[in-house]
Amino acid sequence: MKNIFSVEGKVALVTGGSSGIGLMIARGFVANGVKTYISSRKAQVCDEVAAKLSEHGTCLSLPGDLSEMSAIDAVSAEILKREGKLDILVNNAGATWGAPIDEFPESGWDKVMDLNVKSIFFLTKALLPALRAAASAEDPARVINIGSIDGLHVNPIEHFPYSAAKAGVHHLTRALARRLAPENITVNAIAPGPFESKMMAETLRNYGDQIAASNPRGRIGTAEDIAGTAIYLASRAGAYTNGVILPVDGGIAGCS
């Protein structure tokens, strides 16, 4: 019981790990002894963040635009070449696009769907050899997908593909969990509410006080909230949790 939340010695990849929720999770992993690879579209930023996190543990940069199949192939090939096995995959990279319904462009729809849904499936598929190599009945490999409470309730903001994509992530999580559990790979999703991030920055600037006040917990999320949830799912404590969509939102989705 003493070490049931330990993740020390594991190897993880966190996509979108150079900012926002991905960075919060990556920082939590690194601080708790996980050899953590981070990936993001901007190579220089990814390198700089990895170097900064390496002051507290081991963090390595694998930049790539995961909305492109070529980047998915390159990142997964690099993991297989360097490690051979992967204990934890956090599919966090994502994008949003807001526009009035009468003006919504196809390019915005495709960008959000490609990165938020398509890339999760194909990166997980590409990394199955590494996940299988790490998996055992006692300590399964873990896939943690980052969804959103916007996939659980209707947000009045007009970012239609984002809400649809996150609902898709949640159901894809269940489908993958059913398929991969017999191979000792668990698949779960975290559905965050409001957290400090680049994606949420403008909304929090304009409505942050109102959002916090309307939250049953009276605040927005912190790095410890999201990192702790990811560590739970990746540790022995979460080894029997599979196919779950776990809101981390202070009660917004569950209490409304």
State pLDDT tens for residues 67-115.
999 999 999 999 999 999 999 999 999 998 888 899 999 999 999 999 9
Instruction: Give the Å distances, CA to CA, from 58 to 86, 100, 133.
Output: 15, 44, 21
Give me the pLDDT at residue 10, please.
98
Q: Compute the average pLDDT of residues 175-186.
A: 98
Q: Which residues pair with 187 in a beta bridge?
A: 143
The active-site residue, picked from 37, 162, 207, 240, is: 162
| Rounded CA separation 238/188 (Å) | 10
Tell whether the model's pLDDT for residue 256 goes beyond 70: no
Most distant CA atoms of the chain, gap in Å = 56
The tens digit of pLDDT for each residue in 142-175 reads 999 999 999 888 877 778 999 999 999 999 999 9
**Reported pTM:** 0.94
The answer to whether residue 162 is catalytic is yes
- Token reading at 189: 């999703």
| Domains, in order of start, for the chain | 11-251 (3.40.50.720)
